[in-house]
């Protein structure tokens, strides 16, 4: 393995982006098996070729920049998913009630105790705990 170590000297090697590209290539090759277009399976080789190219690249600064940009994007995606899960889907400041008469959805602030809600559609009044 001495020649290999010599060969890899001064080369970039693997990182998170390289790992992602290899996984992407595997996923693509599986997904594209179900796409009935001739030679489309070759598309799955593109990320793999790029991953190998980066691994043996001697332009380490450029590869580190790529990896850094990838990690930043990945972080932004994760934050977006986290917000979707905790913020947008569950409203912590408001509660939604349905008008018992007409079924209109009414949004009221949380934590106000028992309040009388007036329906904005039919004017029906009902008391709910918030
Ligand atoms: Zn109503």
pLDDT digits (tens, 9 = 90+) for 42-66: 999 999 999 999 999 999 999 999 9
Q: What is the pLDDT of residue 88?
A: 57
Whether residue 87 has pLDDT greater than 70: no
Give distance in angstroms: CA of 118 to centre of ligand 1: 8
Q: Are 119 and 112 in contact (CB under 8 A)?
A: no
Question: Is-above-0.75 flag for pTM?
Answer: no
Give distance in angstroms: CA of 94 to centre of ligand 1: 19
Give distance in angstroms: CA of 121 to centre of ligand 1: 5
Higher pLDDT, 20 or 3: 20
Q: Which residue has the tokens 């559609």?
A: 121
Whether residue 86 has pLDDT greater than 70: no
| Residues ≥6 apart with Cβ < 8 Å to 114 | 127, 128, 129, 130
Q: Are 47 and 22 in contact (CB under 8 A)?
A: yes
Helix (H) or strand (E) holding 128: strand 125-129
Whether residue 30 has pLDDT greater than 70: yes
Give distance in angstroms: CA of 115 to centre of ligand 1: 16
Q: What proportion of the chain, given as a percentage, has pLDDT over 90? A: 63
Residue 58, phi then psi, degrees to nearest 5:
-100, -5
């Amino acid at each position: 393995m001495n020649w290999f170590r010599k060969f890899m000297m001064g080369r970039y090697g693997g990182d998170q982006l390289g790992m992602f590209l290899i996984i992407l290539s595997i996923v693509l090759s599986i997904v594209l098996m179900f796409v009935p277009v001739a030679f489309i399976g070759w598309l799955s080789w593109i990320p793999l070729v790029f991953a190998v190219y980066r691994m043996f690249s001697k332009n380490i600064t450029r590869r580190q920049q790529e990896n850094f940009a990838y990690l930043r994007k990945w972080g932004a995606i994760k934050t977006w998913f986290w917000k979707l899960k905790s913020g947008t889907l569950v409203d912590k400041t408001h509660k939604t009630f349905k008008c018992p008469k007409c079924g209109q959805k009414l949004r009221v602030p949380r934590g106000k105790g028992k309040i009388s809600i007036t329906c904005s559609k039919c004017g029906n009044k009902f008391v709910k705990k918030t």
